[in-house]
Amino acid sequence: MKKIIVVTLLLASVISNCFAQTKSTQELQINDIVPDLSFTVSEGGKDIKRKLSDYKGKIVLFDFWGVNCTSCIASMPKMLELQKKFKENIQIILVTYNSDAQIQKLWKTLESLPFATQWISAGKQLPFIKNDSIIRKLFPHKVIPTHVWLGKKREFISISYSSSTTEGNIKKLIAGQSVNWDDVKGVDITAEDLINNPLMWFEEKAGVKDRVPYYSFITPRIEFGEGGFAPTQLLFEKISGKLQGISCVNETVLDLYKEAYRDKLPFQPIIPDNRVVFEVAEKSKYVAPPYDSTYYYWANKNVFCYALRLSVDSAAQIYSVMKKDLDRFFKIESSIEKRKIKCWVLKKLDSKFHIQSKGGKEKYEKAYNRIILQNHQIRSLFYALEDIVNVQYPQMPFLDLTGYSGAIDIELPWKEDVKEISIPELRKSLQLFGLDMVEEYRIIDMLLIREVFR
Protein backbone atom coordinates (compact mmCIF):
# COMPACT_ATOMS: atom_id res chain seq x y z
CA MET A 1 0.00 0.00 0.00
CA LYS A 2 2.86 2.39 0.87
CA LYS A 3 4.55 1.65 -2.51
CA ILE A 4 1.34 2.55 -4.37
CA ILE A 5 1.06 5.86 -2.48
CA VAL A 6 4.73 6.74 -3.16
CA VAL A 7 4.43 5.95 -6.88
CA THR A 8 1.21 7.96 -7.10
CA LEU A 9 2.85 11.00 -5.43
CA LEU A 10 5.90 10.78 -7.71
CA LEU A 11 3.69 10.56 -10.78
CA ALA A 12 1.65 13.54 -9.62
CA SER A 13 4.88 15.49 -9.06
CA VAL A 14 6.16 14.70 -12.56
CA ILE A 15 2.84 15.68 -14.17
CA SER A 16 2.76 18.92 -12.16
CA ASN A 17 6.36 19.71 -13.14
CA CYS A 18 5.69 19.12 -16.84
CA PHE A 19 2.58 21.27 -16.70
CA ALA A 20 4.50 24.11 -15.00
CA GLN A 21 7.26 24.02 -17.65
CA THR A 22 4.73 24.04 -20.48
CA LYS A 23 2.77 26.86 -18.87
CA SER A 24 5.91 28.95 -18.29
CA THR A 25 7.00 28.84 -21.96
CA GLN A 26 3.70 29.23 -23.82
CA GLU A 27 2.90 32.49 -25.62
CA LEU A 28 1.46 35.15 -23.34
CA GLN A 29 -1.35 37.54 -24.20
CA ILE A 30 -1.71 41.21 -23.29
CA ASN A 31 -2.71 41.64 -19.60
CA ASP A 32 -1.45 38.12 -18.68
CA ILE A 33 0.66 37.94 -15.54
CA VAL A 34 4.20 36.92 -16.48
CA PRO A 35 5.64 33.97 -14.50
CA ASP A 36 8.38 34.76 -11.99
CA LEU A 37 11.12 33.83 -14.47
CA SER A 38 14.64 32.89 -13.41
CA PHE A 39 17.48 33.92 -15.68
CA THR A 40 21.15 34.86 -15.77
CA VAL A 41 21.88 38.53 -16.42
CA SER A 42 25.29 39.91 -17.46
CA GLU A 43 25.92 43.04 -15.41
CA GLY A 44 29.24 44.90 -15.38
CA GLY A 45 31.06 41.93 -16.87
CA LYS A 46 29.65 39.46 -14.31
CA ASP A 47 26.90 36.85 -14.75
CA ILE A 48 24.30 37.17 -11.97
CA LYS A 49 21.31 34.92 -11.22
CA ARG A 50 18.11 36.95 -11.20
CA LYS A 51 14.36 36.44 -10.92
CA LEU A 52 11.76 38.71 -12.44
CA SER A 53 10.49 39.42 -8.93
CA ASP A 54 13.86 41.07 -8.16
CA TYR A 55 12.49 44.06 -10.09
CA LYS A 56 9.26 44.20 -8.09
CA GLY A 57 7.66 47.63 -8.20
CA LYS A 58 9.45 48.59 -11.41
CA ILE A 59 8.32 48.65 -15.02
CA VAL A 60 10.44 46.15 -16.98
CA LEU A 61 11.40 46.51 -20.63
CA PHE A 62 12.78 43.50 -22.51
CA ASP A 63 14.68 44.87 -25.52
CA PHE A 64 15.11 41.99 -27.99
CA TRP A 65 18.18 42.51 -30.18
CA GLY A 66 20.80 40.56 -32.17
CA VAL A 67 24.42 40.98 -33.21
CA ASN A 68 23.43 41.41 -36.88
CA CYS A 69 20.87 44.16 -36.18
CA THR A 70 22.65 47.50 -36.64
CA SER A 71 19.65 49.59 -35.59
CA CYS A 72 19.39 47.55 -32.37
CA ILE A 73 23.03 48.21 -31.49
CA ALA A 74 22.90 51.87 -32.50
CA SER A 75 19.92 52.42 -30.15
CA MET A 76 21.78 51.15 -27.06
CA PRO A 77 23.03 54.64 -26.02
CA LYS A 78 19.41 55.82 -26.09
CA MET A 79 18.39 52.85 -23.92
CA LEU A 80 21.19 53.61 -21.44
CA GLU A 81 20.14 57.26 -21.28
CA LEU A 82 16.54 56.29 -20.51
CA GLN A 83 17.66 53.76 -17.90
CA LYS A 84 19.74 56.38 -16.09
CA LYS A 85 16.99 58.97 -16.23
CA PHE A 86 14.24 56.67 -14.91
CA LYS A 87 16.36 54.25 -12.82
CA GLU A 88 13.98 54.43 -9.86
CA ASN A 89 10.98 53.37 -11.94
CA ILE A 90 12.09 51.15 -14.83
CA GLN A 91 14.54 48.37 -15.60
CA ILE A 92 15.70 47.87 -19.17
CA ILE A 93 17.11 44.41 -19.97
CA LEU A 94 18.63 43.56 -23.36
CA VAL A 95 17.66 40.05 -24.52
CA THR A 96 19.35 38.07 -27.30
CA TYR A 97 19.55 34.46 -28.42
CA ASN A 98 23.19 35.10 -29.43
CA SER A 99 26.01 33.50 -27.42
CA ASP A 100 28.61 35.29 -25.34
CA ALA A 101 31.24 34.45 -27.98
CA GLN A 102 29.14 36.13 -30.69
CA ILE A 103 28.62 39.22 -28.51
CA GLN A 104 32.33 39.52 -27.68
CA LYS A 105 33.16 39.17 -31.39
CA LEU A 106 30.74 42.01 -32.10
CA TRP A 107 32.39 44.31 -29.52
CA LYS A 108 35.81 43.47 -30.98
CA THR A 109 34.64 44.30 -34.52
CA LEU A 110 33.10 47.60 -33.45
CA GLU A 111 36.22 48.71 -31.55
CA SER A 112 37.89 49.63 -34.86
CA LEU A 113 35.03 51.99 -35.76
CA PRO A 114 35.34 55.38 -33.97
CA PHE A 115 31.62 56.18 -34.39
CA ALA A 116 30.66 52.95 -32.58
CA THR A 117 32.43 53.77 -29.30
CA GLN A 118 29.21 54.88 -27.60
CA TRP A 119 27.38 51.77 -28.84
CA ILE A 120 29.93 49.49 -27.18
CA SER A 121 30.02 51.52 -23.96
CA ALA A 122 26.21 51.50 -23.63
CA GLY A 123 25.95 47.81 -24.49
CA LYS A 124 28.43 46.90 -21.77
CA GLN A 125 26.68 49.03 -19.14
CA LEU A 126 23.17 47.73 -19.69
CA PRO A 127 22.16 44.35 -18.19
CA PHE A 128 21.54 41.72 -20.82
CA ILE A 129 20.42 38.13 -21.15
CA LYS A 130 22.31 35.99 -23.67
CA ASN A 131 21.53 32.54 -25.12
CA ASP A 132 17.82 33.22 -24.53
CA SER A 133 15.47 30.38 -25.44
CA ILE A 134 12.63 30.98 -22.95
CA ILE A 135 11.65 34.66 -22.95
CA ARG A 136 11.28 34.84 -26.72
CA LYS A 137 8.81 31.92 -26.55
CA LEU A 138 6.66 33.88 -24.12
CA PHE A 139 6.72 36.90 -26.45
CA PRO A 140 7.21 35.50 -29.99
CA HIS A 141 8.24 38.01 -32.64
CA LYS A 142 9.67 37.92 -36.15
CA VAL A 143 11.65 41.15 -36.24
CA ILE A 144 14.11 43.06 -34.08
CA PRO A 145 14.33 45.37 -32.29
CA THR A 146 11.11 44.39 -30.51
CA HIS A 147 10.27 45.88 -27.11
CA VAL A 148 8.16 44.04 -24.54
CA TRP A 149 6.80 46.05 -21.60
CA LEU A 150 5.81 44.58 -18.22
CA GLY A 151 3.97 46.53 -15.53
CA LYS A 152 4.92 46.87 -11.86
CA LYS A 153 2.93 43.71 -11.04
CA ARG A 154 4.51 41.70 -13.89
CA GLU A 155 1.47 42.23 -16.13
CA PHE A 156 2.16 42.04 -19.88
CA ILE A 157 1.46 45.56 -21.17
CA SER A 158 2.71 45.73 -24.75
CA ILE A 159 4.86 44.22 -27.50
CA SER A 160 5.84 47.12 -29.75
CA TYR A 161 8.43 48.57 -32.09
CA SER A 162 11.28 50.55 -30.54
CA SER A 163 9.70 53.77 -31.84
CA SER A 164 7.31 53.57 -28.85
CA THR A 165 10.20 53.71 -26.39
CA THR A 166 10.28 57.44 -25.72
CA GLU A 167 10.75 59.57 -22.64
CA GLY A 168 7.18 60.81 -22.97
CA ASN A 169 5.69 57.31 -23.08
CA ILE A 170 7.76 56.19 -20.09
CA LYS A 171 6.47 59.15 -18.08
CA LYS A 172 2.91 58.13 -19.01
CA LEU A 173 3.57 54.54 -17.90
CA ILE A 174 4.95 55.68 -14.57
CA ALA A 175 1.94 57.95 -14.07
CA GLY A 176 -0.44 55.10 -14.95
CA GLN A 177 -1.69 56.86 -18.08
CA SER A 178 -2.57 55.15 -21.37
CA VAL A 179 0.06 54.95 -24.12
CA ASN A 180 -0.51 54.90 -27.87
CA TRP A 181 1.78 51.95 -28.72
CA ASP A 182 3.33 51.32 -32.14
CA ASP A 183 2.33 47.66 -31.87
CA VAL A 184 4.35 44.94 -33.59
CA LYS A 185 2.38 43.63 -36.54
CA GLY A 186 2.53 40.05 -37.71
CA VAL A 187 4.34 40.92 -40.95
CA ASP A 188 6.18 37.89 -42.33
CA ILE A 189 8.92 39.84 -44.10
CA THR A 190 12.37 40.94 -42.99
CA ALA A 191 14.93 43.58 -43.89
CA GLU A 192 17.02 40.89 -45.60
CA ASP A 193 14.09 40.04 -47.91
CA LEU A 194 13.73 43.65 -48.97
CA ILE A 195 17.45 44.30 -49.41
CA ASN A 196 18.32 41.23 -51.46
CA ASN A 197 15.10 40.93 -53.51
CA PRO A 198 13.73 44.41 -54.23
CA LEU A 199 11.07 43.04 -56.62
CA MET A 200 9.58 41.27 -53.63
CA TRP A 201 7.94 44.64 -53.01
CA PHE A 202 5.56 43.60 -55.82
CA GLU A 203 3.57 40.42 -56.36
CA GLU A 204 5.76 37.30 -56.00
CA LYS A 205 3.49 35.24 -58.23
CA ALA A 206 4.47 37.34 -61.28
CA GLY A 207 7.50 35.05 -61.48
CA VAL A 208 9.76 37.53 -63.30
CA LYS A 209 12.12 38.69 -60.58
CA ASP A 210 15.01 36.50 -61.81
CA ARG A 211 14.55 37.42 -65.48
CA VAL A 212 14.60 41.23 -65.36
CA PRO A 213 17.98 42.55 -66.66
CA TYR A 214 17.30 46.20 -65.78
CA TYR A 215 14.96 48.10 -63.50
CA SER A 216 14.83 51.15 -61.31
CA PHE A 217 11.85 52.20 -59.22
CA ILE A 218 10.82 54.30 -56.27
CA THR A 219 8.07 53.41 -53.80
CA PRO A 220 6.61 55.07 -50.71
CA ARG A 221 7.74 53.85 -47.28
CA ILE A 222 7.14 50.14 -46.63
CA GLU A 223 6.04 48.86 -43.20
CA PHE A 224 7.90 45.65 -42.34
CA GLY A 225 8.92 45.74 -38.66
CA GLU A 226 12.44 46.18 -37.22
CA GLY A 227 11.39 49.80 -36.70
CA GLY A 228 11.04 50.13 -40.48
CA PHE A 229 14.80 50.50 -40.96
CA ALA A 230 17.22 48.54 -43.14
CA PRO A 231 20.74 49.36 -44.33
CA THR A 232 21.32 50.64 -47.86
CA GLN A 233 23.29 48.04 -49.75
CA LEU A 234 24.95 47.43 -53.10
CA LEU A 235 23.72 44.22 -54.71
CA PHE A 236 25.97 41.54 -56.20
CA GLU A 237 25.19 38.53 -58.40
CA LYS A 238 25.32 35.48 -56.12
CA ILE A 239 27.46 33.22 -58.34
CA SER A 240 29.79 35.60 -60.21
CA GLY A 241 29.94 38.28 -57.51
CA LYS A 242 29.43 40.94 -60.21
CA LEU A 243 27.96 44.26 -59.12
CA GLN A 244 24.39 44.51 -60.34
CA GLY A 245 22.55 47.23 -58.45
CA ILE A 246 21.59 48.96 -55.23
CA SER A 247 18.74 48.73 -52.71
CA CYS A 248 17.69 51.59 -50.41
CA VAL A 249 14.84 50.84 -48.01
CA ASN A 250 12.87 53.56 -46.20
CA GLU A 251 15.24 56.50 -46.62
CA THR A 252 14.63 60.24 -46.49
CA VAL A 253 15.11 62.15 -49.75
CA LEU A 254 18.26 63.72 -48.28
CA ASP A 255 19.71 60.31 -47.38
CA LEU A 256 18.98 59.01 -50.88
CA TYR A 257 20.96 61.92 -52.33
CA LYS A 258 23.79 61.36 -49.85
CA GLU A 259 24.05 57.79 -51.12
CA ALA A 260 23.97 58.92 -54.77
CA TYR A 261 26.88 61.27 -54.03
CA ARG A 262 28.89 58.74 -52.00
CA ASP A 263 32.69 59.27 -51.98
CA LYS A 264 32.43 62.70 -53.61
CA LEU A 265 34.13 64.52 -50.70
CA PRO A 266 37.61 63.75 -49.25
CA PHE A 267 37.50 61.72 -46.02
CA GLN A 268 33.67 61.75 -46.20
CA PRO A 269 32.23 58.50 -47.64
CA ILE A 270 28.76 59.87 -46.87
CA ILE A 271 28.22 63.63 -47.11
CA PRO A 272 27.43 65.01 -43.61
CA ASP A 273 24.44 67.28 -42.99
CA ASN A 274 26.68 70.33 -42.60
CA ARG A 275 27.94 69.92 -46.19
CA VAL A 276 24.45 70.27 -47.72
CA VAL A 277 22.88 73.47 -49.10
CA PHE A 278 19.11 73.55 -49.68
CA GLU A 279 17.40 75.83 -52.18
CA VAL A 280 13.90 74.49 -51.62
CA ALA A 281 10.46 75.70 -50.58
CA GLU A 282 10.14 73.39 -47.55
CA LYS A 283 13.34 72.01 -46.03
CA SER A 284 11.22 69.96 -43.59
CA LYS A 285 10.34 67.56 -46.44
CA TYR A 286 13.97 66.52 -46.74
CA VAL A 287 15.22 66.36 -43.13
CA ALA A 288 13.69 63.91 -40.65
CA PRO A 289 12.13 65.31 -37.46
CA PRO A 290 13.11 63.94 -34.01
CA TYR A 291 12.44 60.22 -33.70
CA ASP A 292 9.33 60.46 -31.54
CA SER A 293 5.62 59.79 -31.82
CA THR A 294 5.26 62.22 -34.75
CA TYR A 295 7.98 60.57 -36.85
CA TYR A 296 5.80 57.93 -38.51
CA TYR A 297 3.20 60.48 -39.59
CA TRP A 298 6.00 62.47 -41.27
CA ALA A 299 7.72 59.36 -42.67
CA ASN A 300 4.61 58.07 -44.41
CA LYS A 301 4.70 61.20 -46.60
CA ASN A 302 8.43 61.85 -46.91
CA VAL A 303 10.30 58.52 -46.78
CA PHE A 304 10.89 56.40 -49.89
CA CYS A 305 12.46 53.19 -51.18
CA TYR A 306 14.69 53.05 -54.24
CA ALA A 307 15.99 50.05 -56.17
CA LEU A 308 18.17 49.76 -59.26
CA ARG A 309 19.37 46.74 -61.18
CA LEU A 310 21.86 47.32 -63.98
CA SER A 311 24.86 45.48 -65.37
CA VAL A 312 27.81 47.81 -64.70
CA ASP A 313 31.54 47.71 -64.01
CA SER A 314 31.72 50.13 -61.07
CA ALA A 315 29.71 51.59 -58.22
CA ALA A 316 30.26 55.05 -59.74
CA GLN A 317 28.03 54.04 -62.66
CA ILE A 318 25.33 52.88 -60.22
CA TYR A 319 25.44 56.22 -58.40
CA SER A 320 25.34 58.20 -61.67
CA VAL A 321 22.09 56.48 -62.75
CA MET A 322 20.67 56.80 -59.23
CA LYS A 323 21.31 60.58 -59.19
CA LYS A 324 19.46 61.03 -62.50
CA ASP A 325 16.52 58.92 -61.26
CA LEU A 326 16.22 60.95 -58.07
CA ASP A 327 16.48 64.30 -59.88
CA ARG A 328 13.81 63.23 -62.34
CA PHE A 329 11.35 61.90 -59.74
CA PHE A 330 11.75 64.59 -57.05
CA LYS A 331 12.11 67.50 -59.55
CA ILE A 332 15.54 68.42 -58.21
CA GLU A 333 18.72 69.75 -59.77
CA SER A 334 21.45 68.31 -57.56
CA SER A 335 25.17 68.94 -57.89
CA ILE A 336 28.43 69.48 -56.06
CA GLU A 337 29.15 73.23 -55.98
CA LYS A 338 31.74 75.40 -54.28
CA ARG A 339 30.46 77.74 -51.55
CA LYS A 340 32.16 80.02 -49.00
CA ILE A 341 31.36 78.43 -45.63
CA LYS A 342 32.51 78.99 -42.04
CA CYS A 343 34.36 75.83 -40.96
CA TRP A 344 36.47 74.30 -38.28
CA VAL A 345 39.88 73.48 -39.75
CA LEU A 346 42.56 71.06 -38.54
CA LYS A 347 45.91 72.67 -39.45
CA LYS A 348 49.57 71.81 -39.14
CA LEU A 349 51.93 74.21 -37.34
CA ASP A 350 55.01 73.56 -39.48
CA SER A 351 57.57 74.72 -36.95
CA LYS A 352 56.26 72.42 -34.21
CA PHE A 353 54.74 69.49 -36.10
CA HIS A 354 56.18 66.31 -34.60
CA ILE A 355 53.55 63.60 -34.41
CA GLN A 356 54.95 61.36 -37.13
CA SER A 357 54.74 57.82 -35.81
CA LYS A 358 57.83 56.05 -34.53
CA GLY A 359 56.25 52.77 -35.61
CA GLY A 360 55.36 49.80 -33.44
CA LYS A 361 52.01 48.15 -32.77
CA GLU A 362 48.88 50.03 -33.87
CA LYS A 363 46.84 51.39 -30.97
CA TYR A 364 43.56 53.33 -30.78
CA GLU A 365 42.24 53.70 -27.24
CA LYS A 366 39.84 55.93 -25.35
CA ALA A 367 40.21 55.34 -21.61
CA TYR A 368 40.83 57.17 -18.35
CA ASN A 369 39.91 60.53 -19.92
CA ARG A 370 42.56 60.15 -22.62
CA ILE A 371 42.60 59.27 -26.31
CA ILE A 372 45.74 57.51 -27.50
CA LEU A 373 46.71 56.90 -31.11
CA GLN A 374 49.93 55.01 -31.79
CA ASN A 375 51.08 54.25 -35.33
CA HIS A 376 47.57 55.15 -36.49
CA GLN A 377 46.57 57.14 -39.58
CA ILE A 378 45.89 60.83 -38.97
CA ARG A 379 42.45 60.21 -40.46
CA SER A 380 41.51 58.40 -37.20
CA LEU A 381 42.34 61.58 -35.25
CA PHE A 382 40.33 63.63 -37.74
CA TYR A 383 37.24 61.42 -37.26
CA ALA A 384 37.55 61.64 -33.45
CA LEU A 385 37.79 65.44 -33.55
CA GLU A 386 34.94 65.57 -36.07
CA ASP A 387 32.69 63.88 -33.49
CA ILE A 388 33.26 66.88 -31.20
CA VAL A 389 32.55 69.43 -33.93
CA ASN A 390 29.41 67.60 -35.09
CA VAL A 391 27.98 67.69 -31.56
CA GLN A 392 29.09 71.16 -30.45
CA TYR A 393 28.91 72.94 -33.82
CA PRO A 394 26.56 70.80 -35.94
CA GLN A 395 26.20 73.42 -38.71
CA MET A 396 29.96 73.84 -39.27
CA PRO A 397 31.95 71.48 -41.53
CA PHE A 398 35.27 70.13 -40.28
CA LEU A 399 38.22 70.01 -42.68
CA ASP A 400 41.62 68.33 -42.55
CA LEU A 401 44.08 70.77 -44.11
CA THR A 402 47.22 69.35 -42.52
CA GLY A 403 48.41 67.95 -45.84
CA TYR A 404 49.70 64.96 -43.90
CA SER A 405 48.44 61.44 -44.61
CA GLY A 406 50.87 59.24 -42.71
CA ALA A 407 50.71 57.47 -39.34
CA ILE A 408 50.90 59.44 -36.09
CA ASP A 409 51.58 59.04 -32.38
CA ILE A 410 49.49 61.35 -30.18
CA GLU A 411 47.82 61.42 -26.74
CA LEU A 412 45.14 63.99 -25.86
CA PRO A 413 42.71 64.66 -23.00
CA TRP A 414 39.27 63.21 -23.73
CA LYS A 415 35.80 62.65 -22.28
CA GLU A 416 33.29 59.95 -23.11
CA ASP A 417 30.60 62.58 -23.60
CA VAL A 418 32.08 64.82 -26.31
CA LYS A 419 29.69 67.61 -25.31
CA GLU A 420 31.84 68.07 -22.21
CA ILE A 421 35.14 68.48 -24.08
CA SER A 422 36.46 72.05 -24.02
CA ILE A 423 37.69 72.97 -27.48
CA PRO A 424 39.98 75.78 -26.16
CA GLU A 425 41.67 73.27 -23.82
CA LEU A 426 41.84 70.70 -26.60
CA ARG A 427 43.52 73.23 -28.87
CA LYS A 428 46.24 73.81 -26.28
CA SER A 429 46.98 70.09 -26.23
CA LEU A 430 46.98 69.87 -30.05
CA GLN A 431 49.39 72.80 -30.27
CA LEU A 432 51.96 70.89 -28.19
CA PHE A 433 52.09 68.39 -31.09
CA GLY A 434 52.21 71.02 -33.83
CA LEU A 435 48.47 70.92 -34.67
CA ASP A 436 45.62 73.35 -34.20
CA MET A 437 41.85 73.64 -34.71
CA VAL A 438 40.69 77.07 -35.92
CA GLU A 439 37.52 78.67 -37.28
CA GLU A 440 37.92 79.98 -40.84
CA TYR A 441 35.83 80.79 -43.89
CA ARG A 442 36.74 78.42 -46.70
CA ILE A 443 35.50 77.84 -50.24
CA ILE A 444 34.56 74.17 -50.17
CA ASP A 445 32.53 71.61 -52.07
CA MET A 446 28.91 71.36 -50.91
CA LEU A 447 26.02 69.17 -52.02
CA LEU A 448 23.40 71.48 -53.52
CA ILE A 449 19.76 70.37 -53.57
CA ARG A 450 17.73 72.83 -55.65
CA GLU A 451 14.05 72.41 -56.47
CA VAL A 452 12.98 73.07 -60.04
CA PHE A 453 9.52 73.31 -61.55
CA ARG A 454 9.20 71.63 -64.90
List, in order of start, the domains of the chain with CATH numbers: 20-174 (3.40.30.10), 191-330 (no CATH), 340-449 (no CATH)
Instruction: Write down the pLDDT at residue 363.
Output: 92
Q: Phi and psi (nearest 5°) for 153?
A: -110, 25
CA geometry: angle 229, 230, 231, nearest 5 deg: 130
Instruction: Write down the pLDDT at residue 17.
Output: 38
Question: Do residues 60 and 169 touch, judged by C-beta distance below 8 A?
Answer: no
DSSP string, 248-275: EEEEEHHHHHHHHTTT-BTTBSS--GGG
Measured between alpha carbons, how far is 160 from 148 in angstroms, rounded to an integer? 6
pLDDT digits (tens, 9 = 90+) for 370-405: 999 999 999 999 999 999 999 999 999 999 999 998
The H or E element that residue 65 is part of is none
Cα 153 to its chain centre, rounded Å, is 32
How do the pLDDT tens digits run along the chain, 454 residues long? 444 433 333 333 333 333 333 345 688 899 999 999 999 998 887 889 999 999 999 999 999 988 888 888 888 999 999 999 999 999 999 999 999 899 889 888 888 787 788 888 888 899 989 999 889 899 988 778 889 999 999 999 999 888 889 999 999 999 999 888 877 765 555 666 667 777 666 644 444 556 678 889 999 998 876 556 788 899 888 777 889 999 999 999 999 999 999 988 877 889 999 999 999 999 999 988 887 767 778 988 999 999 999 988 899 999 999 999 999 999 999 999 999 999 999 999 977 778 889 999 999 998 889 999 999 999 999 999 999 999 999 999 999 999 998 899 999 999 989 999 999 999 999 999 999 999 999 999 999 999 997 5
Model pTM above 0.85: no
DSSP string, 136-176: HHHS--SSSSEEEEE-TTSBEEEEEEGGG--HHHHHHHHTT
Closest CA to 236 of 315, 333, 145, 293: 315
Measured between alpha carbons, how far is 107 from 103 in angstroms, rounded to an integer? 6
pLDDT digits (tens, 9 = 90+) for 94-143: 999 999 899 889 888 888 787 788 888 888 899 989 999 889 899 988 77
CA geometry: angle 216, 275, 391, nearest 5 deg: 115
Instruction: Write down the pLDDT at residue 20.
Output: 37
